[in-house]
């Protein structure tokens, strides 16, 4: 494959939530910016832009990862699933409903990333313990909830009990 020139916008095609979408990107363009600015998929949030906060997490070929640490050109030809794809028919998933029920979000900035991590993680670990779940959540910063509501929501949908009291 020829070298992609820094000064040229190159075509990038991804399968975004099941639909083939094409945009253009300089090699340095982050996948987070490509999703938002080039494809108009604003559900994915951009927080720290250096891999710490987890807000921009999506699934690439099914695997949860940070779009601020991925170049758009690296995603070419890949399947990318974002929060917009979780509930394609306008009805929330069971986990999203549980997030609402348990006040698992306040400002909501971290929520899209956390939902995308969970959608991958719960396929691999369908019934995590609270400790395992909190370990996975350590890859996301939420400054509103203290994580209690998030843990309750997940434990609710997985049918596990939690030591976090309802408030």
Partner 1 sequence: MKPAAFDYLRPASVAEALAALARGGEDARVVAGGQSLMPMLNMRLVQPRLLVDLSRLEELRRLDSRDGWLEVGAAVTQSELMARSTLAEEVPLLAAALPWVGHFQTRNRGTVCGSVAHADPSAEIPLCLVALRGQVLLRSARARRAVPAESFFLGPLTTVKAADEIIEAVRFPLRGSGTGYAFREVAMRHGDFAITACAAVADAHVLRLAVGGVADRPTARDWPFLFGAAMDEALNAFAWDLGGDDDQHATAAYRRTLVRGVGRAVIEEALSCR
Chain contacts with partner 1 (rule: CB under 8 A): 1, 3-7, 26-30, 33, 49-51, 54, 57, 63-66, 68-71, 73-74, 117, 120-121, 135-136, 138-140
Minimum gap (Å) between residue 154 Cβ and partner 1:
14
Closer residue to partner 1 in complex, CB, 43/139 = 139
Minimum gap (Å) between residue 100 Cβ and partner 1:
24
Close Cβ partners of 36 (under 8 Å, ≥ 6 residues apart): 42, 44, 46
Whole-angstrom distance, CA of residue 46 vs CA of residue 93: 23
Closer residue to partner 1 in complex, CB, 43/97 = 43
Which two three-digit tokens encode residue 57?
């997490």
Q: Phi and psi for 90 in degrees, rounded to 5?
A: 80, 5
Minimum gap (Å) between residue 27 Cβ and partner 1:
4
How large is the C-alpha radius of gyration of the chain? Answer: 17
Minimum gap (Å) between residue 124 Cβ and partner 1:
8
Closer residue to partner 1 in complex, CB, 4/144 = 4
Closer residue to partner 1 in complex, CB, 26/42 = 26
CA nearest to 73, candidates 24, 39, 1: 24
Closer residue to partner 1 in complex, CB, 73/144 = 73
Minimum gap (Å) between residue 90 Cβ and partner 1:
28
Which two three-digit tokens encode residue 158?
């997985």
Whole-angstrom distance, CA of residue 159 vs CA of residue 154: 8
Q: Phi and psi for 30 in degrees, rounded to 5?
A: -75, 150
């Amino acid at each position: 494959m020829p070298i992609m020139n820094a000064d040229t916008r190159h075509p990038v095609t991804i399968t975004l939530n099941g639909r083939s979408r094409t945009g253009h990107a300089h090699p340095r363009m982050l996948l987070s910016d490509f999703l938002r600015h080039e494809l108009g998929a604003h559900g994915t949030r951009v927080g720290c832009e250096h891999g710490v906060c987890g807000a921009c997490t999506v699934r690439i070929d099914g695997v949860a990862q940070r779009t601020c640490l991925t170049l758009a050109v690296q995603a070419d030809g890949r399947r990318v699933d974002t929060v917009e794809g979780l509930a394609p028919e306008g009805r929330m998933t069971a986990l999203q409903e549980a997030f609402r029920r348990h006040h698992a979000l306040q400002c909501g900035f971290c929520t899209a990333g956390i939902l995308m991590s969970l959608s991958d993680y719960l396929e691999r670990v369908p019934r995590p313990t609270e400790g395992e779940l909190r370990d996975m959540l350590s890859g996301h910063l939420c400054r509103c909830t203290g994580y209690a509501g998030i843990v309750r929501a997940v434990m609710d949908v997985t049918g596990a009990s939690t030591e976090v009291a309802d408030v």
